[in-house]
Amino acid sequence: MTKTVGVGIAGLGTVGAGVVELLRKNGDRIARRCGSRIEVAAVSARDRARDRGVDLAGVTWHDDAAALAADPAVDIVLELIGGSDGIARAVIDAAIAAGKPVVTANKALLALHGSEIAEAAEAAGIALAYEAAVAGGIPIVKAMREGLAANRISRVYGILNGTCNYILTEMAASGRDFNDILADAQRLGFAEADPTFDVEGIDAAHKLAILTSIAFGSAVNFEAVHIEGIANVAATDIAYARELGYVIKLLAIARQTPNGIEQRVHPCMVPAEAAIAKIDGVFNAVVADGDFVDSTVYVGRGAGAGPTASAVVADVIDIVAGRQAPIFGVPSADMSRFEAVPMARHVGCYYVRLVVYDRPGVIAEISAVLRDERISIDSLLQRGRSENEPVPVVMLTHETEEAAMLRALEAFRRIESVIEPPRIIRIEEF
């Protein structure tokens, strides 16, 4: 006879309802694969009356989400509430205290308190799984933590926010500006009413902090992530990028540098031929580079009820089947700590766009600034030549330290003929 495992679901939003639906629809298949029938034993959500399109007849309702953990019918607790603290945290703490395994989709909570929670779960000897927290349906946590476990990872990067990628894709396709496309995205449901976490890069940074920990066996260090969003990406920069053979993407990048581990989320110019440049719309993608496996790429839907439920239930199946790995790849006691590499020490190539009055000598002035900072120019585009009319000057630099680039930008601002704040976009070559 097949054993039954009861899950308690805290949070019945899109993801929670998706998990209920998945367990109902694919219950037989799942039972064949893990030897147990997984049943929704109990749920908790704010509004008991709301119709979520799923049948909850016979399921115990708890008004207090944290009480799920104490329900004897609940074997595994699913935290699908979200938010870095508050109820979500209380649910996880209660599960750990009750010695029940937890599955969560909560990237904010893991980015901010991951190491501490992992330590508590480990001490209690319970599984804590979070495949859904990073890149939605893509099984990237499993791939990196187990599939690539034999490799020294030198770099992991990706498109971790579907909203930003959708907006940048639409900006490139239409030539329209950020605010226009954002409004469309909100109307179409691809962006939240309050899009701050997405468009400012915070959501991607949460996910990156988790991936960095898995990749490098280091404590989760969200504070060390350099974060810039996409609100300043101008349609004109996207057009110049295309002309130069590049695409602009919001990338989240963690890499081992001679100075330590760098973690950053910001708009990047990537070669149009790179795999990551071709990921359009709401899709997510992660590239992990290992010393033996070389480059591996993972693409799929990063959000939505179905993909997220797929990841949550995969974690439940792993727990039921007894498959466990150290929560962030290595036991908590072994997790290294790393110093943040300040962004000023980042070394890379830059796209620089100035708007200048095309007076005699302006290019000489600009060039002198770069020479003084020992920044060499790879290419320079200047279009239109009408004295006393503003014209754009676009440059690509060779590799330089960001500190030098920032000093150069300061100096550009002091040139009288430079009439707009200079814009830079970092270039990533793969």
Give catalytic residue positions. Answer: 207
Compute the distance between CA of residue 384 and CA of residue 255 in angstroms, rounded to an integer.
40
Instruction: Confirm or deny that 273 is annotated as ligand binding.
Output: no
Give residue 309's identity as a one-letter amino acid code: A
Q: Which of 3, 278, 383, 398 binds a second copy (CB under 8 A)?
A: 278
Annotated binding-site residue? 189:
no
> 13, 290, 45: which is closest to 144 by C-alpha?
290
Footprint (CB under 8 A) of a second copy, residues 181-220: 217
Q: Could you tell me the smallest distance in angstroms from the CB atom of residue 272 to a second copy?
A: 11
Q: Does 119 participate in binding a second copy (rule CB under 8 A)?
A: no
Other Cβ atoms less than 10 A from the Cβ of 314: the count is 20
Entry field: residues in the chain: 430
Element (H, E) at 200: none
Binding-site member from 13, 147, 342, 392 for a second copy (CB under 8 A): 147
245 CB neighbour count, 10 Å cutoff: 11
- Residue 76 engages a second copy in binding (rule: CB under 8 A): no
Structure tokens at 409: 């930008």
307 makes contact with a second copy (CB under 8 A): yes
Among residues 119, 146, 177, 180, the one that binds a second copy under rule CB under 8 A: 146
68 is in an annotated binding site: no
What does the angle CA 276 – CA 294 – CA 214 come to, to the nearest 5 degrees? Answer: 80
Is residue 18 within the footprint of a second copy (CB under 8 A)? yes
Is 11 annotated to bind a ligand? Reply is: yes
The piece of 110-118, 241-249, 257-265, 313-321 that touches a second copy (CB under 8 A) is: 313-321
| Nearer residue to a second copy within complex by CB, 284 or 397 | 284
Q: Which is nearer to a second copy, 30 or 369 (CB)?
A: 30
State both tokens at 293. 């496996």
Summary count for the chain: helices (H), strands (E): 13, 17
Tally Cβ neighbours within 10 Å of residue 274: 16
CB of 38 vs a second copy, minimal distance in Å: 9
State which of residues 71, 75, 79, 131 lies at the interface with a second copy (CB under 8 A): 131
In this structure, the strands spanning 260-271 and 423-427 are parallel
Q: What are phi and psi of 83, to 5 degrees?
A: 95, 145
Whether residue 355 contacts residue 392, with contact meaning beta carbons closer than 8 Å, is answered with yes
Using rule CB under 8 A, residue 310 touches a second copy: yes
* The two structure tokens encoding residue 83: 């938010």
- Residues belonging to the binding site for NADPH are 107
**Where along the sequence are the contacts to a second copy (CB under 8 A)?**
18, 22, 25-26, 29-30, 32-35, 131, 137-139, 142-143, 146-152, 217, 275, 278, 290-301, 306-307, 309-311, 313-314, 316-318, 321-326, 329-331, 334
- Residues belonging to the binding site for NADP(+) are 10-17
- Residues belonging to the binding site for L-homoserine are 192
